[in-house]
Amino acid sequence: MNDALIILDIGKTNVKLALVDACGRMIAEQRRPNTVLMSGPYPHHDTDGIWDWLLATCRVFATQADVTAIVPVTHGATAALVDDNGLVLPVLDYEAPLTGIDYDPVRPAYAETCSPNLPAGLNLGRQLAWLQQHFPREFGHARHILMYPQYWAWRLCGVAASEATSLGCHTDLWNPRRQQYSSLVARMGWQALMPPLAPPSASLGTLRPEVASASGLSPACEVLCGIHDSNASLVRYLDKNDQRAERTVLSTGTWVIAAAFGADLARLREDADMLANTNARGEPVACMRFMGGREFGELAGAQANGNACAMADLERVIERGTLALPCYAGTGGPFAGRTGHVIGPAPMNAQERYALATLYVVLMTDYCLSTLDTAGPLTVEGSFTANPWFGPLLAALRPQQAVSYSDDGSGTTCGGWLLRYRDGTPSGTGILTPPLPLPGLAAYRDRWLEALT
């Protein structure tokens, strides 16, 4: 059988297991919802459900290829507290409300972390401080604080590690300019809980014997350290020859994250939810984001996963002057705290709701890109590549940037694959997206921007 890699891709909405061969070809893929459990002390991730599903799916994949490695890729702002036997507390959902804690006095300054002050548990430091205050006995039993990809790596192979792309994801735990822990870690006494740092591509070891037996995989199967999902989408664009090359990558899914290679961190503003992530090479990357997938779903309703609208639907929404103003998600983005609402005639049917939702996420994306002052070619990764109008509308609004759709519907899969096959060449180069000549689009954007003020 062919040599292959399994990528465990845990997004905020769905969990995916992908079996990919050494040439980057997808052999098989399975998905399940990423369920948040409301039982117990607080809303938390169904780690046992994911684990059982993972083992069962691996048993199927083991019959289809010679799996030589597994790499975990997960959403950010999530960590696990473990002792030698497993979790000492459930893995907290970052959207859970965290009441009864005064975190601001200990939180590092934005100038140190480039991590904006976010609601709920989107700053991982707030989560950890809340858990330490509310569950001191359990917290005191923890041996490690593991970022979420490294929790799954530890569960698979038993080796604890820390990794910079997850530490640098608006956690308050990381100084992106110095690429080291922030002052918060020492202030809270968490240094001893942080395992040694390892690169995302590092092999931490092989499967625990009991995991190999339960999964049907070879005991020699290696477990890679793993990576934050949005940074996985960036891996294929890290120019090996020119680390200063300007380009923009738009990672789309539950979150839409604009990553501007070569942008000046001095442009970042905390009040606009701008931040510095850390890429797989250990370099800071200026980013801005909003919860685009979630907001698209709120606006499009049942049509969100249905057939795309027609161009005539977009034209009618623009002609009638119907505007959707932010925001439609409770967490993050440059307009967090505002209540989304529609100005003008309401959409008349499902197709027009899809059109309005598309125009909204395009305008929000353009706003973020302009605020970041992005330059160079712009590539759209992830779920929005399934929207036939998103790229062409964005290209029409941004003639200064050549817009293309990635030919990989999941940049996280390609990124995970490249961590194992570092000299590999991803298939395809992306599909250049021509601008959509939609009458009135520029004026529609101007009215939307004016309505924001």
Q: How many CB atoms are located within 10 Å of the residue 138 CB?
A: 17
Asked if residues 320 and 283 have their Cβ atoms less than 8 Å apart, the reply is no
Residues paired with 256 in a beta bridge? 252, 290
Task: Look at residue 423 in the predicted model and tell me its pLDDT.
Answer: 83
Distance CA 431, CA 436 (A): 15
Three-state SS at 82: strand
Task: Look at residue 315 in the predicted model and tell me its pLDDT.
Answer: 98
Q: Token pair of 216, please?
A: 């049907």
pLDDT beyond 80 at 173:
yes
Task: Look at residue 46 in the predicted model and tell me its pLDDT.
Answer: 98
Mean residue pLDDT of the chain comes to: 94
Helix extents (H) in 216-254: 229-234
pLDDT beyond 90 at 330:
no
Any idea where the domains of the chain sit in the sequence?
Answer: 3-225, 238-452
Q: Where do we find the tokens 């998905």?
A: 31
When pLDDT is cut at 50, 70 and 90, the band that residue 245 belongs to is confident
Domain 3-225 adopts which CATH fold?
Nucleotidyltransferase; domain 5 (3.30.420)
- Rounded-to-5 percentages of helix, strand, coil across the chain: 35, 25, 40
Task: Look at residue 129 in the predicted model and tell me its pLDDT.
Answer: 98
Domain 238-452 adopts which CATH fold?
Nucleotidyltransferase; domain 5 (3.30.420)
Asked if residues 276 and 284 have their Cβ atoms less than 8 Å apart, the reply is yes
Three-state SS at 37: strand
Three-state SS at 290: strand
152: Cβ contacts below 8 Å, ≥ 6 apart? 8, 10, 72, 74, 226
pLDDT beyond 70 at 428:
no
When pLDDT is cut at 50, 70 and 90, the band that residue 409 belongs to is low
Three-state SS at 151: helix
If you average pLDDT over residues 437-449, what whole number do you get? 97
Distance CA 127, CA 120 (A): 8
pLDDT beyond 80 at 369:
yes
Lowest mean pLDDT among 38-42, 87-91, 279-283, 422-426: 422-426
When pLDDT is cut at 50, 70 and 90, the band that residue 450 belongs to is very high
| Per-residue pLDDT reduced to its tens digit, 187-242 | 999 999 999 999 999 999 999 999 999 999 999 999 999 999 989 989 988 875 55
Distance CA 136, CA 126 (A): 15
When pLDDT is cut at 50, 70 and 90, the band that residue 353 belongs to is very high
Q: Where do we find the tokens 């996420």?
A: 361
Asked if residues 207 and 144 have their Cβ atoms less than 8 Å apart, the reply is no
Distance CA 22, CA 68 (A): 10
When pLDDT is cut at 50, 70 and 90, the band that residue 381 belongs to is confident
Asked if residues 172 and 116 have their Cβ atoms less than 8 Å apart, the reply is no
Q: Which among 358, 301, 290 has a CA at the least distance from the CA of 326? A: 290
Distance CA 341, CA 299 (A): 10
Q: Token pair of 145, please?
A: 């604080």
Q: Alpha carbon 264 to chain centroid distance? A: 22
When pLDDT is cut at 50, 70 and 90, the band that residue 72 belongs to is very high
pTM of the predicted model, to two decimals? Answer: 0.89
Distance CA 369, CA 255 (A): 15
If you average pLDDT over residues 418-433, what whole number do you get? 83
When pLDDT is cut at 50, 70 and 90, the band that residue 174 belongs to is very high
If you average pLDDT over residues 113-131, what whole number do you get? 96
φ/ψ (deg, to 5) at 261: -65, 135
Q: Alpha carbon 212 to chain centroid distance? A: 29
